[in-house]
Copies of this chain bind each other. A is one copy, B any other.
Amino acid sequence: MGIVYLAIACGVIAVLYGLVTTAQVLKAPAGDAKMQDIAAAIAEGARAYLGRQYRTIAIVGVVVAALVAWFLGPISAAGFALGAILSGVTGFIGMNVSVKANVRTAEAARTSLQGGLTMAFRSGAITGMLVAGLGLLAISVMFWGLLTLGHYDLSVGEDRRVIVDTLVALAFGASLISIFARLGGGIFTKAADVGADLVGKVEAGIPEDDPRNPATIADNVGDNVGDCAGMAADLFETYVVTIGVTMASIALLLPNADHLFQLMTLPLLVGGVCVITSIIGTYMVRLGKGSIMGALYKGFWTTVVLSIPAIYFATQYVVGDMNALIGGSTALGDSAFLTPAAAVGATTITFTGMKLFWCMMIGLALTGVLVWITEYYTGTNYRPVKSIAKASETGHGTNVIQGLAVSLESPALPTIVISVAVVACYQLGGIIGIAFGATSMLALAGMVVALDAYGPVTDNAGGIAEMAGLPDDVRHRTDALDAVGNTTKAVTKGYAIGSAALAALVLFGAYTTDLGIYFPDIVVNFSLSNPYVIVGLLLGALLPFSFGAFGMTAVGRAAGSVVEDVRAQFRDNPGIMAGTSRPNYARTVDLVTRAAIKEMIVPSLLPVLAPIAVYYIILAVADQASAFAALGALLLGVIVSGLFVAISMTSGGGAWDNAKKYIEDGNHGGKGSEAHKAAVTGDTVGDPYKDTAGPAVNPMIKITNIVALLLLAALAAG
């Protein structure tokens, strides 16, 4: 149990880091009265939106919790509730830190770029450490509670099942809330952003964040509820699902392993030590002679490098001899999936601690390579962004064509490196190896979220600087910080979806294993030559496309209503444009709030209901074996096409955004040129791509998989 206490201690350290750093942030000067006034309006709008969003989600959450309790029992329901509540709490804290830090970043940027960077990054680091810390605490405390307070015994089959079910239910709670938060927040932020741009920049010809634009507060609220709260909930989900499902898979696949407890706690300890390396990394983020991106990378790479020995010693501490064979007997599921050495029907699986360590190194390497690829596709120094900027010279059409070309091209390298990582991890440790690869990726979540969450803070700081009429050089500093934020945001999304691909494979492994446990008499033919498998793949691959369509339409529709509201305000109150009277910011915020919450419901339920519908429809026209085959194939179909849809949307969107920034830096005619207008169009198109539809695919993939697991459990119970 010592390993679990160590993990809990690391989680507590992360939370303490968050509390101490929050106190530091709050101590910093919060600017003049006008700035505080604006910041208060943003904070008020963000709290109002998030409150309403969580109230709506709570209704769905209570219904689902009741269903979980009915089918899987009260302990699973408690796990679900814990995951759901903590996912919400993470988002809420992230938002609250962000709305305090924005105005302080603007104030700090008055004196220096370093000051603004420090303030914004600290705020991001708070969110990052809370995501990782709370995620780690949720799993480890729950695991500890089940074993000690609940007296469940890992060596007893029924008890093990309770532990597995509770881990899966915890993951489900986190995922369900996070898809709502990602999508609702994503719709809010992009509807406000696109609406504000269309009616402000394009129609009225006033700059971004001009206080005369009634949608400008809504735009800034969006940064907090979408890019900050939504993202935090999403990464919390990714963390909990990955670590939780790794543990659950070990329990399912190696029920009789000698080292079962140790193997299950290893992901917790790895998560724990990497929280510490992430905290150390945050102190390395300092502007030297290099760029802002360079300063952020110093922190990231410090964490990566320190994590290598940390993971090694953690593994050694858990397994003892790194070269001794560990593992045990298994006879469940399709054992060819477990390890390459095991033929179908094999009854033992073994690997060494060293092999698991190498799998985790592959996870770290994959993270590094994905970061680099994303930077290549979205950074202003490379061909893709430059090609979009150049294509802007010949107009809106060629800008969008080139952007779509980059978007379609962007999944190629990530897919190849993910494939290499999957094969390498598999050859080292079978599906358990893949799970550990995913675990080490997610262990870095604290640092990655810190890099990401800093972006919306600087974006807000820029907005406050503009609205409060601070000197131009302050705005220049916040703009410089913000441009880097575009790349770090894309990096996080690429990282989340890459890890999701690995985690989803592990979930699929759990599905096939569970199938063997629950329905030992049904022979499910998962062969590609089973037409129900093909139909399942097709329908699964369809989900991310339909989901993306919902997201894009929602943003378009909500943005349209923003445009109409702002036009009406300009028409009814001519004093606004003259600068003599204040626009009704709250009305626009309220409008976007209602639109976003209304639009998020149906698409969020799509991945929950689709697996259930496909199972019952195929059951009706064929038999249960075919229905299970189609359902399993649906899970893989979602992963396969989800990976492409998500990467192409997030990389493409980031590239469009930075192509605009590249032109604004004075290339191809600079601000106000025809090329710039075309680039603004591309940026607008990329907005819902990268911040609404694309990132929400990540929780969507996992929900589909988790729902399938729960469906199996419910069918077996009922």
Contacts and interface: CB of A to CB of B under 8 A. Distances in A.
A553 B401 CA distance: 8
This chain's copy number in the assembly: 2
A675 to B, nearest CB: 13
Interface residues of A, number: 88
A408 B538 contact: no
A636 B640 CA distance: 11
A646 interface: no
A644 B395 contact: no
Given A532-B423, A539-B419, A641-B644, A397 B526 contact: no
Contacts of A337: 527, 529-531
Contact of A534 (B202, B394, B636, B648): B636
A412 B542 contact: yes
A198 B637 contact: no
A685 B401 CA distance: 5
Instruction: Give the secondary structure class of A's interface.
Output: helix
Interface in A400-451: 400-402, 404-409, 411-412, 415-416, 418-419, 422-423, 426-427, 431, 434
Given A422-B535, A525-B336, A534-B636, A391 B556 contact: yes
Interface stretch (A288-296, A504-512, A585-593): A504-512
A418, A423, A505: most-surrounded residue (chain B CB, <10 A) = A423
A533 interface: yes
Interface stretch (A155-163, A272-280, A544-552): A544-552
A531 B422 contact: yes
Contact of A545 (B344, B395, B408, B681): B408
A689 B531 CA distance: 30
Interface in A475-526: 501, 505, 508-509, 512, 525-526
A194 interface: yes
Contact of A527 (B194, B527, B535, B640): B527
Nearest to A504: B534
Interface in A456-488: none
A337 to B, nearest CB: 4
Contacts of A532: 423
Given A397-B680, A411-B542, 15 more contacts: A337-B531, A394-B559, A394-B560, A394-B563, A396-B396, A397-B684, A404-B552, A405-B549, A409-B546, A419-B535, A422-B534, A527-B527, A528-B533, A537-B636, A640-B640
Interface of A: 194, 197-198, 202, 333-334, 336-337, 340, 344, 391, 394-398, 400-402, 404-409, 411-412, 415-416, 418-419, 422-423, 426-427, 431, 434, 501, 505, 508-509, 512, 525-535, 537-539, 541-542, 545-546, 548-549, 552-553, 555-556, 559-560, 563, 621-622, 632-633, 636-637, 640-641, 643-644, 648, 680-681, 683-685, 688-689, 693
Closest 7 CB pairs of A and B: A397-B684, A405-B552, A409-B549, A408-B549, A337-B529, A396-B681, A405-B553
